[in-house]
Chains A and B, each alone.
Chain A
Amino acid sequence: MSELVPEPRQKPVVPMKPVGINTSLLGYIGIDTIIEQMRKKTMKTGFDFNIMVVGQSGLGKSTLVNTLFKSQVSRKSSGWNREEKIPKTVEIKAIGHVIEEGGVKMKLTVIDTPGFGDQINNENCWEPIEKYINEQYEKFLKEEVNIARKKRIPDTRVHCCLYFISPTGHSLRPLDLEFMKHLSKVVNIIPVIAKADTMTLEEKTEFKQRVRKELEVNGIEFYPQKEFDEDLEDKTENDKIRQESMPFAVVGSDKEYQVNGKRVLGRKTPWGIIEVENLNHCEFALLRDFVIRTHLQDLKEVTHNIHYETYRAKRLNDNGGLPPMTVETEGFLEAWILEGGGVGHAVVLFLSLGDMARRDFGRKKKKKKNKKKKK
């Protein structure tokens, strides 16, 4: 009798990324149905997307957003005063809409910034915008740190910022550079050349080249940022977009005309009809596909995993490596100790307070002790 002792197989080292291990299954298990399950879940919950538009007044921001989402979602269409008086300081106006397509619900918020770059003195006009973006991060952070936090934290963070460049045909303006330098580290910026029907093909190519070069020379990383390309596939795809198509030269319109028997969105001029979705005329279709059809989820992920984390790390560092104290946490801590909760636990919790809160808490504790003694 020869027993076939199977050779002790080497225990496979579990890799960090299960790449390239293709174990053939002996039957159909159904792992791939997870995609369908995810899809069903997403359809039920819907998702939110926050897009900000920045640029001088009159560059067609509201029209473009309406064209992108094929609905009247901009500030101008929501019953705001169409008189368009230029405000004296930059205002931030957020309008939310729920749009539905193919059973999928999207809560879209368009954040408009009227007054940007319109004054005679535009110094630091990006500050209100930076402040708003950071406020949204702060809101999210506070919710995250909360002890009883909601199942789904409402996400008001800005996922994407479309920056409108004026089609001068020369180069970027100093204001454009300043804005993008300050904000490319905080939010995903997608530069867009507005009202591109004012340039011929040669002028467009030259202008785009010049803008790309200027952005590179000044170290401005617009979305999709080179450093966040995850794998080779992403890199090649994004490289092509970065070096050839961006910044997208777009034309927006919410009016339809008849061209060759089809109804198309466009602009009717005495010398021809400009078709918005015709790739020979402008790059609107590329922008739309980029933002909505291919990179929407990626925009949200980069915002959450990178920009938000950067903000969070900065805040924690400022706070001594610990999360910010909220009123609820403080109250909870007090209650815990007074009810005789384990001191050890209390210490752990205590250490998770910020410096300031610690000081205050110490004071309060002393007061309570004194009160007890007096009694």
Chain B
Amino acid sequence: MSMLDGCKTTGKFPAGGCYDLFLRAPHTMAENQDHEKQYVGFATLPNQVHRKSVKKGFDFTLMVAGESGLGKSTLVNSLFLTDLYKDRKLLNAEERINQTVEIIKHTVDIEEKGVKLKLTIVDTPGFGDAVNNTECWKPITDYIDQQFEQYFRDESGLNRKNIQDNRVHCCLYFISPFGHGLRPVDVEFMKALHEKVNIVPLIAKADCLIPSEIRKLKERIREEIDKFGIKVYQFPECDSDEDEEFKQQDRELKESAPFAVIGSNTVVEAKGQRVRGRLYPWGIVEVENQAHCDFVKLRNMLIRTHMHDLKDVTCDVHYENYRAQCIQQMTSKLTQDNRIESPIPILPLPTPDTETEKLIKMKDEELRRMQEMLQKMQQQMQDQ
């Protein structure tokens, strides 16, 4: 713009001829420059993030819970097309009489089209199996809290570059298809966990139910979830500018909850095609057939559309709840103990040995010195 102005005032350029060209050309050039000046270029940010994430890889922690024999392991194998439970030994009833609920982690690295996923499956064998199942969910809630605590410590610590996120992002809870709805154990478990983790309830072994029974059971479970005030994972609302097809899919997804699933890792022949399914004398159940079960919906939801949202909700809601509670507890303790207030709430470390104590004292000294320096600098800036 300033160049043109210069032209007009000095009148250096002759009118007509090439001046016309010149007059016309700068119009588009100006536009370009205009454009260039308005176009900052941050629209490429998602791509940059994408490239960095792909390089870094993703991690996802999935917990499976429910009575034994509901097909949890088979479903996990079907979802991720792996065989995580090759060397598992099943206990018989007598051995299970004295068993308590355990927490077992399986980690597997999966790669697809250049994207790496570090998948951790947290298994809870023994849940709901005993004659007396009072508080059988306690080991599970303790585990989840431990992961939160670990993350909290890491976050408040000094070296935050490589924090390992072991928090449980999603818990698939398997409801037995043999009942008439939720059992007391189901209700108590979900109430104990709905504020710590995203619960996705599933109806297991759905091939023993006919379609009308599945409908009734789903309705019943939805009613009972409302009645008992259980907060299961809610699919987020889709934006108003999404296309109709997406919105339709989203609606169907919400209406199918809780998903009635079937798992299988064996391939059978059906109608000349090889499909994953279960072979019965009266027919073949295809796992990936949407008319047979909701497995495809679950897989799409869990992996293809909502994996990131699950992680977000874990970070933003469940973890923050935990952190707020924790800090509240700590501050009430601090005021009781009359300790020096530090700007960063540091968790009281368990029982540090003398070496670590020395290290901690050194670091504390460093911190104090840095704080003093900061204050001096602030003073200087104010004086300026």
Q: With A56-B179, A198-B205 known to touch, is A122 a contact of B281 (CB < 8 Å)?
A: no
- Cβ of A120 and Cβ of B179 under 8 Å apart? no
Of the candidates A59, A166, A197, which one forms a contact with B280 in the assembled complex, judged by CB atoms under 8 Å apart? A197
Closest to A275 in B: B282
Closest to A272 in B: B283
Stretch of B6-14, B92-100, B250-258 with 4 or more beta carbons under 8 angstroms from chain A = B92-100
Contact string against B for A residues 164-185, beta-carbon threshold 8 Å, 1 for contact and 0 otherwise: 0011111111111110000000
Determine the chain B residues whose CB is within 8 A of the CB of A121 once the complex forms. Answer: 131-134
Contact string against B for A residues 273-306, beta-carbon threshold 8 Å, 1 for contact and 0 otherwise: 1110000110000000000000000000000000
Q: With A168-B70, A170-B69, A178-B131 known to touch, is A201 a contact of B281 (CB < 8 Å)?
A: yes
Determine the chain A residues whose CB is within 8 A of the CB of B133 once the complex forms. Answer: 120-122
Stretch of A263-271, A312-320, A341-349 with 4 or more beta carbons under 8 angstroms from chain B = A263-271
| Interface residue B157 (Cβ < 8 Å from any Cβ of A) | no
Of the candidates B93, B131, B208, B284, which one forms a contact with A172 in the assembled complex, judged by CB atoms under 8 Å apart? B93
Q: Is the interface of A mostly helix, strand, loop or mixed?
A: loop
Q: With A86-B184, A121-B132 known to touch, is A169 a contact of B69 (CB < 8 Å)?
A: yes
- Cβ of A57 and Cβ of B180 under 8 Å apart? yes
| Interface residue B183 (Cβ < 8 Å from any Cβ of A) | yes
Determine the chain B residues whose CB is within 8 A of the CB of A360 once the complex forms. Answer: none
Measured CA separation A118–B181 after assembly (Å): 12
Measured CA separation A200–B210 after assembly (Å): 16
B125-162 residues at the A interface, CB under 8 angstroms: 129-134, 136
- Cβ of B92 and Cβ of A123 under 8 Å apart? no
Of the candidates B90, B131, B136, B211, which one forms a contact with A170 in the assembled complex, judged by CB atoms under 8 Å apart? B90
Q: With A120-B134, A120-B185, A268-B210 known to touch, is A171 a contact of B93 (CB < 8 Å)?
A: yes
| Interface residue A307 (Cβ < 8 Å from any Cβ of B) | no
Determine the chain B residues whose CB is within 8 A of the CB of A198 once the complex forms. Answer: 177, 205, 207-208
Measured CA separation A200–B185 after assembly (Å): 28
- Cβ of A168 and Cβ of B68 under 8 Å apart? yes
- Cβ of A174 and Cβ of B179 under 8 Å apart? no
B89-134 residues at the A interface, CB under 8 angstroms: 90-94, 96-97, 129-134
- Cβ of B280 and Cβ of A272 under 8 Å apart? yes
Contact string against A for B residues 194-211, beta-carbon threshold 8 Å, 1 for contact and 0 otherwise: 000000000001011011
Determine the chain A residues whose CB is within 8 A of the CB of B136 once the complex forms. Answer: 120
A213-262 residues at the B interface, CB under 8 angstroms: 214, 217-218
- Cβ of A271 and Cβ of B131 under 8 Å apart? no
- Cβ of B282 and Cβ of A120 under 8 Å apart? no
Query: Distance in Å from the Cβ of A127 to the closest Cβ of chain B?
Result: 13
- Cβ of A195 and Cβ of B291 under 8 Å apart? no
Query: Distance in Å from the Cβ of B245 to the closest Cβ of chain A?
Result: 25
Q: With A118-B183, A120-B184, A168-B70 known to touch, is A174 a contact of B178 (CB < 8 Å)?
A: no
Determine the chain B residues whose CB is within 8 A of the CB of A167 once the complex forms. Answer: 69, 178, 208
Of the candidates A120, A172, A195, A272, which one forms a contact with B178 in the assembled complex, judged by CB atoms under 8 Å apart? A195
Measured CA separation A86–B182 after assembly (Å): 10
Determine the chain B residues whose CB is within 8 A of the CB of A171 once the complex forms. Answer: 90-93
| Interface residue A97 (Cβ < 8 Å from any Cβ of B) | no
Determine the chain B residues whose CB is within 8 A of the CB of A201 once the complex forms. Answer: 280-281
Closest to A124 in B: B131
Measured CA separation A218–B92 after assembly (Å): 11
- Cβ of A57 and Cβ of B179 under 8 Å apart? yes
Closest to A172 in B: B93
Q: With A171-B92, A214-B94 known to touch, is A59 a contact of B278 (CB < 8 Å)?
A: no
Determine the chain B residues whose CB is within 8 A of the CB of A170 once the complex forms. Answer: 68-69, 90
Q: With A122-B132, A195-B208 known to touch, is A218 a contact of B94 (CB < 8 Å)?
A: yes
| Interface residue A7 (Cβ < 8 Å from any Cβ of B) | no
Interface residues of chain B, those whose CB is within 8 Å of chain A, are 67-70, 90-94, 96-97, 129-134, 136, 176-180, 183-185, 188, 205, 207-208, 210-211, 278-286, 291-292
A-B contact pairs, 8 of them (CB 8 A): A86-B183, A118-B184, A121-B133, A170-B68, A174-B131, A198-B207, A201-B280, A270-B291
Query: Other than the known A86-B183, A269-B207, A280-B281, what 18 A-B pairs have Cβ atoms closer than 8 Å?
Result: A119-B184, A120-B184, A122-B131, A122-B132, A122-B133, A168-B69, A168-B70, A171-B91, A178-B131, A198-B208, A214-B93, A214-B94, A268-B210, A269-B211, A270-B291, A271-B285, A273-B282, A274-B280
Interface residues of chain A, those whose CB is within 8 Å of chain B, are 56-60, 84, 86, 118-123, 166-178, 194-195, 197-198, 200-201, 210, 214, 217-218, 267-275, 280-281
